[in-house]
Structure 1
Amino acid sequence: MNKALRLLSERFPDYESASTELLRLTSILELTKGTEVFVSDLHGSHETFENLIRIGFGTIEQIVDSTVSVDTSAQEKRELLSMIYYPQDTFELYEHRVDRKESLTRVVSNMLKVMNTLLGTYSMGRFNEVMTSKFDAVIWDLVNRNATNQGYVLSVIDNLFALHLENNIISDMAILIRKLSIQKLHVIGDIYDRGSGADLIVDQLIDHQECDVQWGNHDVVWMGAAYGSEACIANVLRVSLRYGNIGTLIRYGIHLIPLATFALKYYGDDPAIGFEPKTDDDEAMSDAEKDLNKIMHKAVAIIQFKLEGQLIARRPKFNMDSRLLLDKIDFDQNTIKINGEIHKLSSSFFPTIDPEDPYSLTHDEDELIFRLKKCFLESYRLQAHANFLFEKGGMYKVSNNNLFFHGCVPVDQDGDFIPVDLGRGQYQGKSLFDFLNQTIKNAWPIKVGENAEYSKDLLWYLWTGPLSPVFGKDKMATFERYFTSDQLLHTEKKNTYFSLRENEAFCIKLLGEFGLNSTDAIIINGHIPVSVRRGENPKKGNGKLMVIDGGFSKAYQAQTGIAGFTLIHDAWGRQLFTHLSHKEEIVAQSGYLNKFKKEDLSRHKKLHKVKDCPEGEVITERIDDLKDLLRSYQPASICLTSPKVSHIQQQVLN
């Protein structure tokens, strides 16, 4: 027995266990391909994400349209969708209807049809994992008998009404349909910042049956903060205050009173011009709140620049000396020298900067960072969320001919992969992604020593570094935006990747770098919002690359002109959903109104099963290995004289 079979035999030590696994995998090949959903750049928009989960990211409406009877009216379909999405609100529509029982019975019947369709993508084991209701047995019984014994089903429904349990069973069925509608959820980065509900989104991702996250720069900076990187902590606090958004910090138990006390002591008389919070109209702050927010914002920004300067000095291989700006300030003239040119500063108030040693923290700053770091490290909720991101996250992923990552692959003007040396060897293209992925994942749980310190600094580099694949710009011009008025200094030059991805040949080359040579393969990115309102198309490279950052966060919707993209890959192919309104709601009398438009990106001629997909090829390889293992078991552990056993063996091995 070779090494691979020996390893396999440790998991399946006898003929019975191995053959059972083989039969399980063989049955999975015949299932309909499950629905995969791709979203990106949620940016803390929890209410929007909650609604997306409820509507199955747009897929449930399609299933209802293809499942319910052609005689079902448009009004009845809307009410059915309302019941699936928001059952508690929709029950009110039925409360005083004279045909309440008959109407709700039809709702249950249609829900059973929808559920039966969805079950075609699930094995029994997976289905049992999804079911969590106390009515699971009843629901399972109804689904199985709905097509064959209507009398039995109606009898059970009558009893549910007699026991006043109809609302309970319908609510649980609605939850189950929503769960079944999405088999795999892929989040392509930037869960955090801008909106105030990032932690609430992570709660839902953790609860999802199968979810992965490809890290964005706004995710890695929070991961770094959870890991104890002081530079990342300062950035997380600054960005939260920049958008007047401290809800996530509060729920994580990050106490801001020490920062407020420090800011009042040193910046209390500073007008802090340029540090006003950027808030939505419906997130109004009082003048007193704005004033306190401004000085806290400026105080932590100065601390950030100091900590980043210290990090850049200890990591010369990061090649970020150009971001050392505090030592370029002429405090007497209130100017700064950048790229050989002198620029006037918009503020001359720097009470905590020592011109002789500008990157050193004052005693009070050092004490403040110590206390804040303690909060981040001791936040059970934040650490649990960081654990999810480290374990379920990654730099990239390949699934069923989809290559997806958040930002870019660093390339030069000719489209060649840039060799990147961050102090641990030189990497480029896929090898750079693999190096970053392995280094970050190996750092968790939190460790001590030089490798841990390097990982903390690497997470900060990914947030802001010029060759970071999740950032993709030559600099993060934070200091220039706060303290200079020259717009040229504010410019952040994107990596050439973002222009070259319009070229089909470049996209095909990139797919090949990651081992995807199928004509069906595509790349999926987020990171850069697609300005649909200005005519930009999310399809790049003749359809070989899709950018699905469509502005789920309200802050970006003025730029995008829409309310987000969802890319769906199901048994029929790929579809792009353009969400036209993020604020769907139950409307009395007319039922649920959901606004999106759908575009087919690819369409199969026939419904694809798992065996027709790349994941099916992986399963087939496992089946072949199991067959080899079974052959090795056959002579020693099976009595060949038994006709029954020999027949079973022959079927399995064939």
Structure 2
Amino acid sequence: MDATKKYLNLLAKDYPTIGDTTAEIINLEAIMNLPKGTEHFVSDVHGEYEAFQHVLRNGSGNIKEKIKEIFHDRLSQKEMNSLATLIYYPEDKIRLISNEFEDLEETNEWYRITLSRLIGLCVYIASKYTRSKVRKALPDEFAYIIEELLAKDGDGYTNKEDYYSEIIDSIISLDRGAEFITAISYLIQRLVVDQLHVVGDIYDRGPYPDKIIDTLMAHHSVDVQWGNHDILWMGAASGSAVCIANVLRISARYDNLEIIEDAYGVSLRQLLTFAEMTYPEDLESCFYPKVDSEKKDYFEDEIRQITKMHQAISVIQFKLEGDIINRHPEFKLDHRLVLNSIDYENGTISIKGKDYPLLNTNFPTIDPANPYKLTSEEELVVEKLVTAFKNCGRLQQHISYLYSKGNMYLTYNDNLLFHGCMPLTETGEFLGMDIQGKQYAGKNLLDKFEEVLRKGYLNKGHKDNDKYLDYVWYLWTGPVSSLFGKDQMTTFERYYVADKATHEEKKNAYYAMRNDEKTCEMILSEFGQNPLKGHIINGHTPVKEKRGEDPIKANGRMIVIDGGFSKAYQGTTGLAGYTLLYNSYGMVLVSHQPFTSVKDAIKNEIDIMSTRRVIDRELDRKKVRETGVGRELAEQVSDLKELLKAYRNGDIVEETK
């Protein structure tokens, strides 16, 4: 039996008759003529859960736009804002509004009006999907009722007016109005976005990356392009000691150790005890954490402990990094063997032939003759931490999710998504790297990086896993890493040396060349995308809008959507992040103002969207047929037509029912 016949026989198991086959062909052909679904792009959320979940709830302003399209001539701006806020936060808004009514009749009238508006909005939003797809999205409790109500405007007759009115009246009289509004509000949130793309960096800086991943795990359709901070946590969960040290150092630096201890339940007692016994008390230390005294009350002892742990884990990190650099000469990172360059007697460090005084000269665990050797106490701390990270159930669940939903890059509907950069030489060619004895560049380099990342996680129980995990650390800090994109990471200098000239990290040539349309077209072609239609969508580098930087580059071929979700970046960027929407009418870039609080959003109906900017406007509304999904459906139709031909020619026999 040839391969084609074998394949058609397998296909016949799903479509055993001519009727089944033709029905599916008709179904798929019809789906391809629906409008393209809306894609929502976010990036660099960095643990800022409240701002992130608000952007998800409002669809980057998409819900409010739909409300305007339907109700612009029937509702005031205040009424539209109130309806939008109700959809974003239905439970809280209902409780707040309910307190404003004087009697039951007034309350029921509000329910009646609101339900009518929500049903009308839901009908409009659901109209671009098949009934089957909408049915799958319906909440279980009210599925039948909502499906009936969504059919109302499509009737065109008045035979069922009393029927529909009775449904609404019954919902209210049975005291289920609040629950029904909540259910249909979340349905609207779900239907307004067809696919969510997270272009990297869920972790670090902000306090709740775990809640963000919990939210993503409950999302109906999402993909993730890993960021440099994500792979650091992925490496930590895989058992990489150096990645764990980096994770802890960053968490201590930003006073965010709660994510380690409270969210993931990893004990830091061993590290704290070691730090307390080893390092002197120094609240003026360069390891003093970045604290927000306006939002949190601090005990002096707490700050002292964090400062000591911060220093202890940083020194351990520098030692572990030195070991990797010595193991891998192909990494070409000998210049980052900083502990070799310290004059421990005089308290100075030599950098590029010049001596600089150190801001901190406390190195009680370093042997100048063998600076990268861990003490027995440090070895015990590292061993305990590696075991704790590898055996943390919730962390493993989250990292497993990132591996299942994530990639180094994604090609989707003619667009190329990756977090950081495409490493280039100064002359604009793809920059190569030796990995395990073979040279890789361009798309092949990112594919190889992804391969070693996955192997590092799959082999986390093996003793020789360092051969993969060392590359995970390289992705965090290496000059040819597509996730880092700089010649060096000057962490040591930023702690220990006051002269900011030593802090310089030169960006890869990509960051200058991505303004060039030809360069972007070359990269799109490398990944098999149409260079004249596609876009590169990046995160990673905050767009400094207040300094005049434009997130849209290379005549629209490049879009950078990291504008500063993280509060740590907002002083530099001047705003609180970009998101991107891509619907059947084209692409719209949305910039956001800083998010204040959920309470403010609910009570004062404050939304954080500020500006919508059209990037591409489709001359004709794009249909599913013209998307990547549509091309896959077209292939399925072609296969089904071959099966249909085989049935009619008698090459395959229909199943008798």
Query: Counterparts in 2 of 1:110-125, with a 5 A limit?
Result: 110-125=117-132
Q: CA deviation at 1:478?
A: 0.6
2:625 and 2:211 map into 1 onto residues whose CA distance is: 36
Question: Residues of 2 paired with 1:11 and 1:57: CA distance?
Answer: 41
1:370 equivalenced with 2:346 (yes/no): no
Partner in structure 2 of residue 547 of structure 1: 560
1:10 equivalent to 2:10? Answer: yes
Change beyond 3 A, Cα 1:422–1:450: farther
Counterpart of 2:427 in structure 1 is 414
Cα distance in 1, alignment partners of residues 390 and 523 from structure 2: 38
Instruction: Return the offset for 1:637.
Output: 7.3
**Superposition TM-score, scaled by structure 1 size:** 0.93
Cα distance, 1:169 vs. partner? 0.4
* 1:93 and 2:97 matched: yes
Q: State the alpha-carbon separation in 2 of the partners of residues 108 and 599 from structure 1.
A: 32
Is residue 2:398 matched to residue 1:385?
yes
Other-structure match for 1:488: 501
How does 1:451-462 map onto structure 2 within 5 Å?
452-462=465-475
* Alignment match, 2:622: 608
Shift in CA distance, 150/454, structure 1 to aligned 2, threshold 3 Å: farther
**1:84 has 2:123 as partner:** no
Moved more, 611-620 or 21-30: 21-30
Cα distance in 1 for partners of 2:442, 2:602 equals: 54
SS at match of 1:294: helix
Deviation of 1:614 (Å): 3.4
SS at match of 1:358: coil
In structure 1, how many angstroms separate the alpha carbons of the residues matched to 2:52 and 2:590?
Answer: 14
Q: Which moved more, 1:150-159 or 1:472-481?
A: 150-159
- The match for 1:651 is none
> In structure 2, what is the Cα distance between the partners aligned to 1:582 and 1:588?
12
Cα separation, partners in 2 of 1:223 and 1:12, compared to 1, 3 Å: farther
Matches of residues 224-623 of structure 1 in structure 2 within 5 Å? 224-250=235-261, 251-271=263-283, 273-280=285-292, 281-449=294-462, 452-583=465-596, 585=599, 591=605, 593-623=607-637
Q: Deviations over 1:89-113 (max 9, x none)?
A: 2222244436332232222122112
Task: Give the C-alpha shift of residue 349 in structure 1.
Answer: 1.1
**Which deviations, in whole Å up to 9, do the C-alpha atoms of 1:464-489 show, x marking residues without a partner?**
11110000001110111111122111
Cα distance, 1:125 vs structure 2: 4.3
What is the aligned partner in structure 1 of residue 77 from structure 2?
Answer: 74
Whichever residue aligns with residue 531 of structure 1, its letter is K
Matched, 1:104 2:114: no
**The 10-residue stretch of structure 1 (284-293 or 214-223) with the greater mean CA deviation from structure 2:** 284-293
Work out whether 1:173 is the aligned partner of 2:177.
Answer: no
Match of 1:633 in 2: 647
Give the Cα separation in 2 of the matches to 1:588 and 1:295.
Answer: 41
Unaligned 5+ residue runs, structure 2? none
How far is 1:21 from its partner?
4.3
Aligned 8 A contact 2:60 2:609 in 1: no
**Structure 1 unmatched runs, 5+:** 646-654
Find the aligned partners of 1:496 and 1:569 in 2 and give their Cα distance. Answer: 29
Larger deviation: 490-499 or 173-182? 173-182
Measure the CA separation in 1 of the matches of 2:3 and 2:456.
30
Q: Please, which of 25, 28, 32 is the counterpart of residue 31 of structure 2? A: 28
Q: Which amino acid aligns with 1:151?
A: D
| 1:56 is aligned to 2:59 | yes
* SS of corresponding position for 1:602: strand
Could you say if the C-alpha distance between residues 638 and 106 of structure 1 is closer, same or farther in structure 2, counting changes exceeding 3 Å?
farther
Q: Contact 2:118–2:184 (CA<8 Å) still a contact in 1? A: yes
Secondary structure, in 3 states, of the residue corresponding to 2:458? coil
> SS at the partner of 1:597?
strand
* Shift, 1:450, TM fit: 7.7
Deviation at 1:66, TM superposition (A): 1.3
Deviations 1:141-190 (A, max 9, x none): 21122443443221111011111110010011111111111111101111
- Whichever residue aligns with residue 105 of structure 1, its letter is R
User: Taking structure 1 as reference, are residues 354 and 103 closer, same or farther at Cα in structure 2, changes over 3 Å only?
Assistant: same
Whether the aligned pair in 2 keeps the contact of 1:89 and 1:586 (CA below 8 Å) is no
CA distance 1:454–1:283, change in 2 (3 Å): farther
1:340-363 superposed Cα distances (whole Å, 9 cap, x missing partner): 332222222111111121111111
User: Residues 483 and 639 from structure 1, CA distance in 2 versus in 1: closer, same or farther, beyond 3 angstroms?
Assistant: closer
In percent, how many aligned pairs have the same letter?
Answer: 38
Whether the 8 Å CA contact 2:493–2:503 is kept in 1: the answer is yes
* Offset at residue 223 of structure 1 (A): 0.2
> 1:131 deviation in Å?
2.6
Relative to structure 1, the CA distance from residue 146 to residue 472 in structure 2 (aligned partners, 3 Å threshold; closer, same or farther) is: same
- 71-80 or 368-377, larger mean C-alpha shift: 71-80
Query: Secondary structure in 1 aligned to 2:650?
Result: helix
Residues in 2 aligned to 1:282 and 1:569: alpha-carbon distance in whole angstroms = 37
8 Å contact kept, 2:590–2:609 = no
Asked if 2 retains the 8 angstrom alpha-carbon contact of 1:574 and 1:603, the reply is yes
2-structure distance, mates of 1:451, 1:572: 52
Answer with 95-104 or 512-521: which moved more.
95-104
Q: Is the 8 A contact 2:238 2:460 kept in 1?
A: no
CA-based RMSD? 2.3
* CA gap 1:302/1:87 in 2 versus in 1, 3 angstroms: same
CA gap 1:5/1:432 in 2 versus in 1, 3 angstroms = farther
Aligned residues: 642
Given the superposition, is the C-alpha separation of residues 107 and 539 from structure 1 closer, same or farther in structure 2, using an over 3 Å criterion? same
CA–CA separation in structure 2 for the residues paired with 1:596 and 1:152: 42
Matched-pair contact (CA < 8 Å) for 2:200–2:539: yes
1:145–1:152 Cα contact (<8 Å) kept: no
1:599 counterpart letter in structure 2:
R
